[in-house]
Amino acid sequence: MEVSLALLADCANISREGKLNIMGIFDRINAQSIPVVHPQMQLIMTLEADRAEADREHKIEVELIDSDGAKLFAIGGHIQFGPPPPGERVKVNHIIQLNNVQFNRFGVHEFKILLNNEVRRSVPLHIVEARKESPAQQ
């Protein structure tokens, strides 16, 4: 099983036809000061499995790790894939809505995606100190 796509965006949805629509992909948040709260973001993933991995339950977990290595939160659950067509892999798009996430440090944070307790993908998010304009620049 693998995570073939993982990113952060402002908005995403999956159409009735199974198309993944993504708007506002980003990997950094500019902040004047810390702590900063990001009102809404979505973690988008495409999970792929082969026939041997289908029809059984798999554990999925997402952890947010800050720039010092501390775990800010973890979200977990289980997923099960149906069998793919012969000779193909099954693909499942998944969107996790994250609201009002607070960041207490500048630096690189990571969303770690674990499948069956093994990190399969990591999505970096840079929390960057925005330069304050001096009165001459305003």
pLDDT of 6-52, one tens digit each? 999 999 999 999 899 999 999 999 999 999 999 999 999 999 998 88
Q: Which two tokens stand for residue 3?
A: 């995570």
Residue 83 lies in a domain: yes
Strands 57-65 and 107-115: antiparallel
Residue 133: Cβ within 10 Å count:
8
What pTM was computed for the model?
0.88
With contact defined as beta carbons under 8 Å apart, do 41 and 98 qualify? yes
Give the structural domain span for 50: 2-132
SS3 category, 51 = helix
pLDDT of 76-105, one tens digit each? 999 988 888 888 888 999 999 999 999 999
Q: Which residue has the higher pLDDT, 136 or 117?
A: 117
Residue 137 lies in a domain: no
Residue 123 lies in a domain: yes
Residue 138 lies in a domain: no
Nearest-angstrom CA–CA distance, 110 and 122: 6
CATH number at residue 110: 2.60.40.1930
Q: What percent of the chain has pLDDT over 90?
A: 76
Domains in the chain: how many in total?
1
Mean pLDDT of 111-133: 93
Residue 76 lies in a domain: yes
